[in-house]
């Protein structure tokens, strides 16, 4: 039997041992193979003596969890936290190797004491997670794996990259330093031969990626927080601004309960409004954040930021007045 098939059969065994019922179509999706292949693997499991059974009511297969794996030493809170992350949040996050993440969780879940597993399964039925819109990531696993290997081995990569603002494809050599998940998408940060400096590139904008055998020097002392400095999110512009905003009472509470930036300072007003201050590098990113609050926020300082918000708002009005 080929090693790939052995690995898949073991993974199917681990999955079935979770105590849940999995239809052939479920297993086919999880392992990225055909229904026919799954049926053949199930037949192999039966032949070597693993007692799975078919549940006609659910239309799925399962194996008793206590068949041969010992319980794992996790308490109730530890188990519930782990399963909450995997079963509820991972489906909405851009996780690389998502199937591997699910299988790893199933292995742990299989080994939980029966009472803890039963409680977690019941509790999770009444818990939901909504993370908001996520960027598309059709080839995330492949791109992430290539970059991760290149970072570890310090190999340069050649990439073709679709730019957002220019609307064109650029080609460059990249010395990759770091992978980052931020604001709904994955980025790789490294030294760009085209830009002659460190830049961040979205993984879902990489059209082609080729790992070279050319090694790069440096990068081991790259500090993510030094690079971003006081940028609002990811784009430092090289100038620090003292930003002072007035949020009206309708949104003040929801704004101040979140730590938006490391420099954030809040002053509550008697009428329920709030003055929120930041020291940020650049005005581009924070402008779009402010616009999201519409007519519930006023820019007090600096004047340059007030002008950017006004210009954007005027353009928005002009655009929407056109028939």
Q: In CATH, what number is assigned to the domain containing residue 274?
A: 3.30.70
- Write down the pLDDT at residue 212: 96
- Write down the pLDDT at residue 257: 96
Radius of gyration of the chain (CA): 26
**Domain check: are 253 and 310 in the same one?**
yes
Last residue of a domain, one of 124, 159, 175: 124
Q: Structural domain of residue 314, as residue ranges?
A: 240-321
**Domain check: are 67 and 153 in the same one?**
no
**Domain check: are 261 and 204 in the same one?**
no
**159 near 209, Cβ under 8 Å?**
yes
Largest CA distance in the chain: 76
What distance in Å separates the CA atoms of residue 101 and residue 82, rounded to the nearest whole number? 11
Q: Is residue 134 part of a domain?
A: no
Crossing angle between the packed helical segments 76-84 and 114-124, to the nearest 10 degrees = 40
Environment class of residue 106 by beta-carbon count within 10 Å: exposed (0-12), middle (13-18) or buried (19+)? buried
**Domain check: are 100 and 163 in the same one?**
no
**279 near 230, Cβ under 8 Å?**
yes
- Write down the pLDDT at residue 3: 54
Q: Is residue 85 part of a domain?
A: yes
How many structural domains does the chain have? 3
Last residue of a domain, one of 228, 256, 273: 228
* CATH number of the CATH domain containing 150: 2.30.30
Q: Is residue 67 part of a domain?
A: yes
- Write down the pLDDT at residue 80: 83
**Domain check: are 148 and 197 in the same one?**
yes
**Domain check: are 88 and 156 in the same one?**
no
Neighbours of 6 (CB within 10 A): 12
**Domain check: are 262 and 209 in the same one?**
no
Query: Which strands, in side-by-side order, build the sheet including 265-268?
Result: 265-268, 274-281, 240-247, 297-301
**Domain check: are 9 and 117 in the same one?**
yes
One digit per residue, pLDDT tens: the chain, 323 residues?
555 677 788 788 778 776 678 888 888 888 888 888 888 888 888 777 777 778 888 888 887 655 555 556 777 888 888 788 777 776 667 778 777 777 777 777 777 888 888 888 888 888 888 777 666 666 788 999 999 999 999 999 999 999 876 679 999 999 999 999 987 889 999 999 999 999 999 999 999 999 999 999 988 888 888 899 999 998 889 999 999 999 999 999 999 999 999 999 999 999 999 999 999 999 999 999 999 999 999 999 999 999 999 999 999 999 998 76
What distance in Å separates the CA atoms of residue 84 and residue 36, rounded to the nearest whole number? 32
Last residue of a domain, one of 228, 257, 280: 228
Phi and psi dihedrals of 92, rounded to 5?
A: -105, -5
Tokens at 30, concatenated = 């999880």
**Domain check: are 178 and 247 in the same one?**
no
Q: Is residue 116 part of a domain?
A: yes
- Residue 262 DSSP one-character state: T
**Domain check: are 246 and 284 in the same one?**
yes
């Amino acid at each position: 039997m080929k090693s790939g098939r052995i690995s898949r059969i073991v993974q199917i065994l681990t999955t079935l041992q979770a105590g849940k019922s999995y239809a052939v179509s479920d297993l086919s999706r999880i392992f990225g193979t055909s229904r026919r292949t799954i049926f053949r693997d199930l037949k192999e499991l039966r032949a070597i003596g693993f007692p799975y059974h078919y549940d006609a009511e659910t239309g799925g297969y399962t194996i008793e969890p206590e068949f041969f794996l010992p319980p794992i030493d996790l308490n109730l809170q530890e188990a519930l936290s782990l399963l909450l992350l995997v079963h509820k949040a991972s489906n909405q996050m851009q996780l690389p190797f998502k199937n591997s993440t699910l299988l790893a969780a199933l292995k742990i879940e299989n080994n939980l004491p029966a009472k803890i597993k039963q409680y977690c399964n019941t509790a999770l039925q009444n818990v939901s997670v909504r993370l908001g819109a996520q960027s598309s990531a059709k080839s995330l696993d492949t791109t992430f794996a290539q970059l991760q290997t290149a970072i570890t081995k310090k190999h340069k990569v050649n990439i073709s990259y679709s730019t957002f603002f220019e609307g064109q494809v650029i080609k460059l050599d990249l010395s990759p330093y770091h992978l980052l998940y931020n604001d709904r998408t994955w980025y790789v940060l490294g030294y760009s031969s085209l830009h002659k400096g460190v830049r961040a590139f979205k993984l879902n904008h990489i059209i082609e990626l080729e790992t070279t055998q050319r090694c790069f020097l440096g990068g081991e002392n790259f500090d993510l927080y030094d690079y971003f400095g006081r940028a609002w999110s990811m784009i430092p512009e090289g100038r620090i601004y003292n930003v002072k905003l007035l949020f009206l009472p309708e949104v003040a509470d929801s704004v101040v309960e979140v730590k938006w930036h490391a420099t954030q300072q809040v002053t509550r007003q008697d009428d329920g409004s709030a003055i929120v201050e930041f020291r940020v590098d650049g005005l581009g990113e924070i402008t779009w954040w402010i616009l999201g609050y519409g007519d519930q926020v006023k820019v007090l300082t600096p004047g340059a930021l007030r002008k950017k918000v006004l210009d954007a708002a005027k353009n928005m009005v002009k655009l929407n007045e056109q028939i």
